[in-house]
Amino acid sequence: MTRAVYHAGERRVQHRAGTGEIAERMSRTLRPEIPAVARDFLARQTAVVIGAAGVDGRLWTTLLTGPPGFARATGTDAVDLDAVPAPGDPLSGAFETDAPAGAIAIDFAKRRRMRLNGRGTRAGRGLRLTLDQVYANCPKHIQSREPITGTPTPRGTPVRTTGLTDDQRALIGAADTFFVATADADGNADCSHRGGNPGFVRVVAPERLDWPDYTGNGMFNTLGNLEVNPAAGLLFVDWASGRCLQLTGRARTAWDADRFAGIPGAQRLVSFEVDAVVDTPGGSPMWTTPSYSPSNAEVRAVE
């Protein structure tokens, strides 16, 4: 069944932020079918990030990669990926039966991204996404980088913990990019990109992260989901080594300006409480040193 363009949580956040008219205009870009330009874009991509509930019922986010052509439109509303979450990944086994999934195909080098929301299921040795929402996002806050081709990064054994180590906190504090999976009250999943200069994500307590919410497209898919369902899954990548850090927990949005005073560009503040962690060496290819987005806001210490 095709979902409504916006659910109640998204409408409430749009109203509070004063972006209702913008969101209505943007809604015209959402479609259930894959346009020709999107087909061409997908065929060139080497990275797709997927958010969904794992077999443990928690939301997680994972990175799937492959050569150009590993992601391709196979129908008016279907995308096939020649990859699945690896053994030990918290989303391994999540798509043995049809399950809600949100995905984002991203071209870091050209600062382009496309959202793909619907349902995922195993298809042969890969994964099929059957879509009910397809739309492009703006290039803001995407750091330009490219995968380093050659010898693949050996994938290590995932390590699961219930909290963050000092080393993991340092990785998060130095991040310029992460991905966040959320879901609405009915479990429909979405996956979104967040970017900024290193330090824009702050580890403010042993198991709590804060990040600023900057001006975006006014649709508030992520914050709208959090309005009705606090579950969230985050993915951080150490692009220089290929290490992947997956977090699951709960997030909430702070609208009180006192909470984000002194953070340049912040319109709101999102806080995330960590429930569980999966740390995988070599979970991603290595990538080049980035060129930071000109849209990134200054990052400075907050007293």
- Helix (H) or strand (E) holding 197, with range, is none
**Structure-model confidence comparison of residues 151 and 13, the more confident one:** 13
Note the pLDDT of residue 302. Answer: 61
pLDDT tens for residues 159-208? Answer: 999 999 999 999 999 999 999 999 999 999 999 999 999 999 999 999 99
**What is the pLDDT of the chain when averaged over all its residues?**
94
Say which range, 48-52, 115-119, 299-303, has the weakest mean pLDDT. Answer: 299-303
pLDDT at 4 over 80: no
pLDDT tens for residues 160-169? Answer: 999 999 999 9
pLDDT at 117 over 50: yes
Note the pLDDT of residue 29. Answer: 85
pTM of the predicted protein model: 0.96
CB 216 within 8 A of CB 139: no
CA quadruple 281, 284, 287, 293: dihedral, nearest 10: -110
- State mean pLDDT over 57-61: 98
Note the pLDDT of residue 149. Answer: 84
What token pair was written down for 255? 């609208």
CB 249 within 8 A of CB 90: no
Neighbours of 28 (CB within 10 A): 9
Banded pLDDT at 150 (limits 50, 70, 90): confident
Burial 181-198 (b: 16+ CB within 10 A, else e): bbbbeeebbbbbbbbbbe
